[in-house]
Amino acid sequence: MQTSSNAIHHLAPEYLQLREALRETVAHGITPHAADVDANSRFPTEAYQILVASGFHAPHIPTEYGGVGADEIATNLVVEEVARGCASSSLIPAVNALGSLPVLLAGSAELKQEVLTPLASGKVMFSYALSERESGSDASAMRARADRDGDSWVLRGTKAWVTNAGMSTYYTVMAKTDPDAGAHGVSAFVVHRDDPGFSVGEPEHKMGIKGSPTCEIYLQDCRIPAHRIIGEPGTGFSTALRSLDHTRLTIGAQAVGIAQGALDAAIAYIGQRRQFGKMIAEFEGVQFMIAEMAMRVEAARTLVYAGATKAIQGAPDLRFASAAAKCFASDVAMSVTTDAVQLFGGAGYTQDFPVERMMRDAKITQIYEGTNQIQRLVMARYLLK
């Protein structure tokens, strides 16, 4: 059996060709390693090598820096299709985008050339450090500090929940340059892992996406060159919000990919499993479940790519669209993977089948890059402004 998963059939042929090429690559080079990556909490080296070889480890990087110059739709296609096979692996292109997008949006020409060129070549990875233990949703309450000292900035503090920490070379770090100015006192910086005073903590022990290390990073009088500030002092928080308007779409795409993978697995299973003398797929109750799952996945996918189109067009309601896509798609991913486990019965609760992993992986999409409660606030504030 096959699901349609063709909600984006109205897009240009090159996008559909990209999707088919990605599915072939993921099916043969990434999905076969997904269970081992999860079981051993190891970085998906195989996926990274394949993605670098194709230029899809950071597809959003413009051609002027050696990237493939993928637009928002193509970038989200990459994330979705990789997530369909391995959610941990999909965080390679997703987090490279999250970490480097502030540089693309607000960095100097010198900084862009310095950090985006090696990212495009696959020599480095990029992470993003905004949250702290006591400032998650309330990000502007951060305590990390940055002080100017001659031709340098000196950063002090601890950042938490940094995705792919330890694997990345570069980190976009938000810190207060004016502690009395609230959000307007936050500035953004690029920190290199070899900068003096920078270190990475032990990986968190997580429910899902176990192949993507999540760690604290420590800035102990971490000295960086002055030119590695992103934009002007005090503009870091606004740059972070502008970046999230784009990258929340990638989390929506990741969620769609996870949900589609679970739906595919469930359809295949109910078409083979027999109970009471017939296939499970012949029972009306099961058919209703599958129909509901597929309908919600298609709706989520359409919302994500409608948002990506708005991003390309620079639509004024992008903030609403990206929050809506991330929120809806991640809720769908959680419900669809849970239903997939239910359709597998007791087998779905074991690690012998992928839906157990997919259900665990789906949960984080409701939390990171802004919890879904925060997404609803973002949408409401846009509507009521």
Q: Which two tokens stand for residue 80?
A: 């979705």
Closest CA to 71 of 305, 319, 307, 312: 312
Closest CA to 300 of 267, 338, 331: 331
> Distance (Å, rounded) from C-alpha 210 to C-alpha 39?
8
- Using the structure block, give the residue that is written with the tokens 């503009």: 235
Quick check: 177 and 167 in contact, CB under 8 A?
A: no
Residues noted as catalytic? 369
The sign of the torsion formed by the CA atoms of 90, 296, 309, 232 equals negative
